[in-house]
């Protein structure tokens, strides 16, 4: 049994981007849907 917990190397590169937005290209059509949903007044629509 080890006496100390060993962590990961702090200089190791991550396999995934830091942000989900990094996965989506600037010309991807999903950005139109995202902009549309951002403009909706959801509390009013929920009534």
Write out pLDDT tens, residues 1-47. Answer: 567 777 766 676 777 777 878 888 999 999 999 999 999 998 888 88
Q: What is the pLDDT of residue 28?
A: 94
| Pairwise CA distance, residues 22 & 39, whole Å | 22
Q: Is residue 16 part of a domain?
A: no
Query: How many Å separate Cα 47 from the centre of its chain?
Result: 30
Q: What's the domain range around 29? A: 21-47
Three-class SS of residue 43? helix
Tell me if 31 sits within 8 A of 24, measured CB to CB: yes
Q: What is the pLDDT of residue 21?
A: 83
Q: What does the block give as tokens for 45?
A: 């629509």
Q: Is residue 39 part of a domain?
A: yes
Q: Is residue 27 part of a domain?
A: yes
**The overall pTM is greater than 0.75:** no
Tell me if 30 sits within 8 A of 24, measured CB to CB: yes
User: 3-state DSSP helix/strand/coil percent for the chain, to nearest 5?
Assistant: 40, 0, 60
């Amino acid at each position: 049994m080890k006496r100390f917990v060993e962590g990961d190397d702090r200089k190791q590169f991550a396999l995934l981007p830091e942000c989900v937005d990094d996965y989506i290209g600037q010309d991807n059509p999903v950005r139109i849907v995202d902009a549309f949903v951002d403009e909706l007044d959801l509390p009013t629509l929920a009534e």
